[in-house]
Structure 1
Amino acid sequence: MKKISFTLLFLVCAIGFATAQSKDVAKMLKVPDTYNRSSVTLLVLDFPGDYHYNFVRNNLKTLVFSDKYYNNNLNYITLNSPYERSYIGTNKADLILKSLKEKRVANDIVAKWYSMDSQGKMSLDLVHSRGMFNATDEAFLEAKTTKRGNAQLEDFGNRLIDMSYVVVADFYDIKSMEEAKVKDSRGWQANVQTYLYKIDFNEEIRNKIYDNWIFDEDTPEVKDSKRAALAKIEIPLVFVTTSMNTASESVSTKTTSIPLVGSKKPKTDDELMAKMIQDAYNEILYNLEMKVEDFKVITSINGVNPIRAKIGKKEGIKTDYRFFAYEYVYDEKSNLTTQKLRGVVRSTPKIADNVQVATGKSPTTEFYQTCGRRLQNGYLLQQRNDFGGELSAGYEIGEIGGIYGRLDLRMGRYVGVKALFLYIEGGYESKAYNTVTFKFTRYGGGLAKGLQLTRNSELRPYVGLGLEETKNASQVKQSTLYFKGGANLGINIKHNVQLIGGVGYYMTGDTKDENDVSYGDWDTVYDGRSGMSILAGIRIGF
Structure 2
Amino acid sequence: MKKLTTPGLLWLALFCYFPLSMNAQNQKIDAGNYARISMTMLVLDYGDSPYMEYFRKPGQLDIPDKFDDNNLTYTLLPANFERAQMIDRTKVGTGITFGMKNQMNTSFIEPLFGLVKNYKIPNAIIAKEFNRQEDGSFNMDIIAQRGLYNANTTDYQKANATMRKEDALRDAGELLLNNSYILIFDFVEIKTMTEVYNAMDANSQKPVARTQNGYKANGNAYLYKIDFNDSVYNNFLLSMWVDAGFEPTLKQERAELFNNNIFPVKRIANLPFAVEALQYNADQGVLAPKVQKTPDQLFDILVSNTNVEMVTNIEKLFSQFRVKSQITSVRPIGVKIGTKEGLKLDQRYYVYETQLDAAGKEFSKRMGVIRSKNIVENRFNISDKQGIFEPSLFYQTAGKKLSNMGMYVEQKNDWGFGLCLGYAMGNMGGANVSLEFNIMSVLNSAMNLKSGITALKIYIGAGLDLRSYESNYLLSQNIPNQNILFYKFEGGLAKDFYFARNFHIGPVIGVGLETAGLTEDYTDPNNNTSKYTLETLYGKAGLRFGFNIRHNVQLQITSGFILPMGTVTEDIRFENKSISGWPKDLTENWDEIFTDRQGVEFGGGLRLQF
Q: Tell me if both proteins adopt one fold, taking TM over 0.5 as the criterion.
A: yes
CA 218–304 in structure 1, closer or farther in 2 if over 3 Å, else same: closer
Aligned residues: 509
Q: Which one of 461, 466, 483 corresponds to residue 437 of structure 1? A: 483
CA 464–247 in structure 1, closer or farther in 2 if over 3 Å, else same: farther
Shift of 1:71: 0.4
Q: Which one of 361, 364, 370 corresponds to residue 345 of structure 1? A: 370
Do the aligned partners of 1:56 and 1:277 also contact (CA within 8 Å) in 2? no
The secondary structure found in structure 1 opposite 2:31 is coil
Shift of 1:54: 5.3
Pairing 1:537–2:537 present: no
In structure 2, distance between residues paired with 1:244 and 1:90: 9
Report the counterpart of residue 48 of structure 2 in structure 1.
Answer: 49
Do the aligned partners of 2:28 and 2:362 also contact (CA within 8 Å) in 1? no
| Alignment of structure 1 residues 253-332 onto 2, 5 Å | 253=281, 265-329=291-355
| Structure 2 length-normalised TM | 0.75
| Alignment of structure 1 residues 357-372 onto 2, 5 Å | 357-358=381-382, 359-372=386-399
Shift of 1:105: 1.6
Q: Deviations over 1:459-512 (max 9, x none)?
A: 232223334445444242634444333232221111111001112344444325
Report the counterpart of residue 209 of structure 1 in structure 2.
Answer: 236
Q: Deviations over 1:69-121 (max 9, x none)?
A: 10011112233455437933238872433432332222211111112245432
The secondary structure found in structure 1 opposite 2:413 is coil
In structure 2, distance between residues paired with 1:295 and 1:438: 55
The secondary structure found in structure 1 opposite 2:508 is strand
Q: Which one of 128, 137, 143 corresponds to residue 127 of structure 1? A: 143
Shift of 1:147: 2.8
Pairing 1:143–2:159 present: yes
Amino acid paired to 2:74? Y
CA 222–340 in structure 1, closer or farther in 2 if over 3 Å, else same: closer
| Alignment of structure 1 residues 384-403 onto 2, 5 Å | 384-403=412-431
CA 251–57 in structure 1, closer or farther in 2 if over 3 Å, else same: same
The secondary structure found in structure 2 opposite 1:455 is coil
In structure 2, distance between residues paired with 1:519 and 1:38: 63
Shift of 1:452: 1.6
In structure 2, distance between residues paired with 1:381 and 1:395: 37
Larger relative contact order (Cα-Cα within 8 Å, sequence gap ≥ 6): 1
| Alignment of structure 1 residues 29-108 onto 2, 5 Å | 30-34=28-32, 35-46=34-45, 48-50=47-49, 53=51, 57=55, 61-80=59-78, 83-84=82-83, 87-90=87-90, 94=109, 95-108=111-124
In structure 2, distance between residues paired with 1:219 and 1:202: 28
In structure 1, distance between residues paired with 2:570 and 2:77: 57
Deviates more, 1:510-519 or 1:204-213: 510-519
In structure 2, distance between residues paired with 1:173 and 1:505: 51
Do the aligned partners of 1:192 and 1:280 also contact (CA within 8 Å) in 2? no
Q: Deviations over 1:27-48 (max 9, x none)?
A: x962113211111111233355
Do the aligned partners of 1:401 and 1:429 also contact (CA within 8 Å) in 2? yes
Q: Deviations over 1:281-337 (max 9, x none)?
A: 223212211121111111111122211111100100001111111234467x64555
Report the counterpart of residue 258 of structure 2 in structure 1.
Answer: 230
Pairing 1:409–2:437 present: yes
Do the aligned partners of 1:480 and 1:512 also contact (CA within 8 Å) in 2? no
Q: Which one of 464, 482, 494 corresponds to residue 428 of structure 1? A: 464
Do the aligned partners of 1:60 and 1:274 also contact (CA within 8 Å) in 2? no
Shift of 1:410: 1.5
| Alignment of structure 1 residues 365-384 onto 2, 5 Å | 365-378=392-405, 379-384=407-412
The secondary structure found in structure 1 opposite 2:544 is strand
In structure 2, distance between residues paired with 1:160 and 1:83: 35
In structure 1, distance between residues paired with 2:608 and 2:354: 28
The secondary structure found in structure 1 opposite 2:233 is helix
Do the aligned partners of 2:468 and 2:482 also contact (CA within 8 Å) in 1? yes
CA 270–318 in structure 1, closer or farther in 2 if over 3 Å, else same: same
The secondary structure found in structure 2 opposite 1:356 is coil
Deviates more, 1:503-512 or 1:299-308: 503-512
CA 208–334 in structure 1, closer or farther in 2 if over 3 Å, else same: closer
CA 251–217 in structure 1, closer or farther in 2 if over 3 Å, else same: closer
Report the counterpart of residue 153 of structure 1 in structure 2.
Answer: 169
Shift of 1:539: 0.9
Do the aligned partners of 1:405 and 1:427 also contact (CA within 8 Å) in 2? yes
In structure 2, distance between residues paired with 1:524 and 1:77: 69
Do the aligned partners of 2:41 and 2:61 also contact (CA within 8 Å) in 1? no
Q: Which one of 481, 493, 512 corresponds to residue 447 of structure 1? A: 493
Amino acid paired to 1:363? E
The secondary structure found in structure 1 opposite 2:454 is coil
In structure 2, distance between residues paired with 1:400 and 1:183: 40
In structure 2, distance between residues paired with 1:250 and 1:73: 28
In structure 2, distance between residues paired with 1:44 and 1:257: 37
Do the aligned partners of 1:55 and 1:273 also contact (CA within 8 Å) in 2? no
Identity of aligned residues (%): 30
Point out the structure with max Rg over C-alpha: 2
Shift of 1:159: 2.1
In structure 2, distance between residues paired with 1:54 and 1:488: 52
Q: Deviations over 1:226-249 (max 9, x none)?
A: 222112211111121344454444
CA 505–76 in structure 1, closer or farther in 2 if over 3 Å, else same: farther
Deviates more, 1:209-218 or 1:312-321: 209-218
The secondary structure found in structure 2 opposite 1:87 is helix
Q: Deviations over 1:198-257 (max 9, x none)?
A: 110123322332222234454444333222211221111112134445444444445699
CA 471–88 in structure 1, closer or farther in 2 if over 3 Å, else same: farther
Do the aligned partners of 1:519 and 1:525 also contact (CA within 8 Å) in 2? no
Runs of at least 5 residues in structure 2 that lack an aligned partner in the other structure = 1-25, 93-107, 198-207, 444-448, 471-480, 523-529
Q: Which one of 507, 520, 524 corresponds to residue 461 of structure 1? A: 507
Deviates more, 1:227-236 or 1:144-153: 144-153
Do the aligned partners of 2:36 and 2:67 also contact (CA within 8 Å) in 1? yes
